């Protein structure tokens, strides 16, 4: 089973809700996808750039399930995101500070050149040069899947469109799925996983629905990272030979569990 190398950000986040839930947390799609895959039994490595404030993460006891060999470090602050949600858990505002993540594209391209035998998941969101990374993956013949982030999804889907037919799986939520259908012929895509909050998640293969799973109803404590958890879990079970319907059931259950789990705290740096 190939390692899953997840290209994206690892970040310091703050989530804000009208009822005063949320707060400072460890986040970033590369971290959350890799952690979910590792929990589901698959070797997974975030391909990311850590700044001075998060350089100690590979030594954190709570993150030892992850393979940290694919990360890079740089002088300066790590990526930071302030994520504001409404009372229904819908994202209404994002305030980014990319920090050293502006070096992610160069690091990702160099990593792909040296590890074409890995399977990749690309978190298509800023500041990554999505076109450059997907083109490199397609040219090397690497297996890769992709996901998007709704605030930038329209631009990123259009950017990624020429390479989506090469992807093993495209992960989108319901709004992103509508954008995807307006940009590409989805009957040409190998596999699409569509999430829709508390409603049924579905799997589509070349335009035909092949499976569905309804998440168990759970009141959300923290919605940020639920989609990443679903993607990582789905990819791990598929790599272990599970059919897509079973993988989706496991993934929706994991995402629902994530909703009720306290956020990852930012580990304190160890004193010398």
Domains of the chain, each with CATH number or no CATH: 4-10+29-75+102-259 (3.40.1190.20)
At 270 the pLDDT is: 60
Q: What is the number of other CB atoms lying within 10 angstroms of the CB of residue 171?
A: 29
Model confidence over 65-97: pLDDT tens digits? 999 999 999 999 999 999 888 877 778 888 999
At 109 the pLDDT is: 97
Cα 157 to chain centroid distance, Å, stands at 15
Q: Please report which confidence band the pLDDT of residue 117 belongs to, taking 50, 70 and 90 as the band edges.
A: confident
At 168 the pLDDT is: 97
CA distance 84 to 99: 20
Percent of the chain at pLDDT exceeding 70: 96
Mean pLDDT computed over 207-214:
95
Backbone angles phi, psi at 67, to 5 degrees: -85, 115
CA distance 92 to 90: 6
The residue ranking higher by pLDDT, 201 or 270, is 201
Q: Please report which confidence band the pLDDT of residue 221 belongs to, taking 50, 70 and 90 as the band edges.
A: low
DSSP of 141-190 = T--EEEEE-HHHHHHHHHHHGGGGGG-S-EEEEHHHHHHHHHHS-GGG-S
Name the CA dihedral angle for 44, 50, 56, 59, rounded to a multiple of 10 degrees: 10
Pairing of strands 11-16, 79-85: parallel
Model confidence over 137-195: pLDDT tens digits? 999 999 999 999 988 999 999 999 999 999 999 999 999 999 999 999 999 999 999 99
At 1 the pLDDT is: 81
How far, CA to CA in Å, does 122 sit from each of 87, 230, 256? 30, 14, 23
Mean pLDDT computed over 197-207:
94
Mean pLDDT of all residues belonging to the chain: 92
Model confidence over 251-264: pLDDT tens digits? 999 999 988 887 77
Residue 144 CA neighbour count, 13 Å, CB half: 29
CA distance 42 to 75: 31
At 265 the pLDDT is: 77
CA distance 45 to 33: 9
Mean pLDDT computed over 19-41:
91
How much is the pTM?
0.93
Model confidence over 4-29: pLDDT tens digits? 999 999 999 888 888 877 788 899 99
For residues 110-139, one letter each, b for 16 or more C-beta atoms within 10 angstroms of the residue's C-beta and e for the rest, the string is: ebbeebeebbbbbbbbbebbbbebbebbee
């Amino acid at each position: 089973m190939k390692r899953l190398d997840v290209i994206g950000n690892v970040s310091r986040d703050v989530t804000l809700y009208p009822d005063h839930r949320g707060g400072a947390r460890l986040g970033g799609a590369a971290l959350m996808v890799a952690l979910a895959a590792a929990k589901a039994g698959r070797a997974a490595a975030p391909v990311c750039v850590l700044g001075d404030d998060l350089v100690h993460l590979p030594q954190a006891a709570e993150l030892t399930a992850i393979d940290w060999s694919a990360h890079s470090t740089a002088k300066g602050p790590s990526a930071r995101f302030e994520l504001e949600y409404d009372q229904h858990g819908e994202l209404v505002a994002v305030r980014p500070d990319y920090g050293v993540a502006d070096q992610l594209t160069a690091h990702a391209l160099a990593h792909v050149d040296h590890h074409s035998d890995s399977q990749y998941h690309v978190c298509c969101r800023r500041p990554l040069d999505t076109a450059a990374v997907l083109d490199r993956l397609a040219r090397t013949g690497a297996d890769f899947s992709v996901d998007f982030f709704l605030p930038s999804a329209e631009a990123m889907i259009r950017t990624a469109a020429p390479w989506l037919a090469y992807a093993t799986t495209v992960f989108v939520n319901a709004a992103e799925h509508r954008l995807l259908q307006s940009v590409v012929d989805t009957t040409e895509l190998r596999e699409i996983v569509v999430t829709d909050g508390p409603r049924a998640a579905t799997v589509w293969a070349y335009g035909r629905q092949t499976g569905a799973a309804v998440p168990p109803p759970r009141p959300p404590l923290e919605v940020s990272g639920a989609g990443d958890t679903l993607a990582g879990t789905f990819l791990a079970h598929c790599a272990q030979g599970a059919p897509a319907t079973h993988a989706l059931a496991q993934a929706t259950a994991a995402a629902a569990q994530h909703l009720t789990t306290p956020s990852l705290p930012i580990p304190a740096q160890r004193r010398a």
